[in-house]
Amino acid sequence: MTKLLKILPILLASFMFAGCQTSSLKINSEADIEANSVIKKVNKEALMDSDNMVLPSNYDVKAFSRVTLAAYVENVSFEKDALSADIDQSIIAKLLENELARTKRYRLVTRNCTACDYEVAYQAENTVSEGAINVGQQMNPDFVLETTIGLGSVVKKKSDHNEIIFRSLVTTKVVDPTTGEIVHSFEPIRHNMPAKRFFAIEGRYLGGFDYRKSNELQEAYKEAAQKAIQVLVNRTMDYYPVGGRVTNYRNGRFAINSGINQGFAIKQPVILFLSDDGLDIPIASGEVTPKTEGGAGVIYAWKKDDADAQDVKKKLEAMGKDYLKRNKIYAVSVGTPEDWAL
pLDDT digits (tens, 9 = 90+) for 210-229: 988 989 999 999 999 999 99
Q: Please give the pLDDT value at position 238.
A: 85
- Taking residue 113's Cβ as centre, other Cβ atoms within 10 Å add up to 14
- Torsion angle of C-alpha atoms 98, 107, 151, 153, degrees rounded to 10: -40
Q: Please give the pLDDT value at position 311.
A: 96
Q: Please give the pLDDT value at position 294.
A: 94
pLDDT digits (tens, 9 = 90+) for 301-312: 999 989 999 999
Q: Please give the pLDDT value at position 314.
A: 95
pLDDT digits (tens, 9 = 90+) for 313-324: 999 999 999 999
pTM value?
A: 0.81
- Asked if residue 280 lies in contact with residue 244, where contact means CB atoms within 8 angstroms, the answer is no
pLDDT digits (tens, 9 = 90+) for 145-178: 999 999 999 988 887 888 999 999 999 999 999 9
pLDDT digits (tens, 9 = 90+) for 252-281: 999 999 999 998 888 999 999 999 988 999
**Is pLDDT at 2 greater than 70 in this prediction?**
no
Percent of the chain with pLDDT over 70: 90
Average pLDDT over residues 30-35: 68
DSSP letters along 24-50, please? ---S-TT--GGGS----EE-HHHHTSG
Mean pLDDT of the chain: 85
Q: How far apart are CA 301 and CA 286, in angstroms?
A: 7
**Strand 196-201 to strand 182-192: parallel, antiparallel, or no bridges (unpaired)?**
unpaired
Q: Please give the pLDDT value at position 220.
A: 94
If pLDDT is split at 50, 70 and 90, which confidence band does 30 have?
A: low
Domains of the chain in start order, with CATH, are 2-239 (no CATH), 243-337 (2.40.30)
pLDDT digits (tens, 9 = 90+) for 72-108: 898 899 988 898 888 888 888 899 999 999 988 888 8
Percent of the chain with pLDDT over 90: 50
CA 58 to each of CA 4, 144, 209: distance values in angstroms, whole numbers, following the listed order: 10, 18, 45
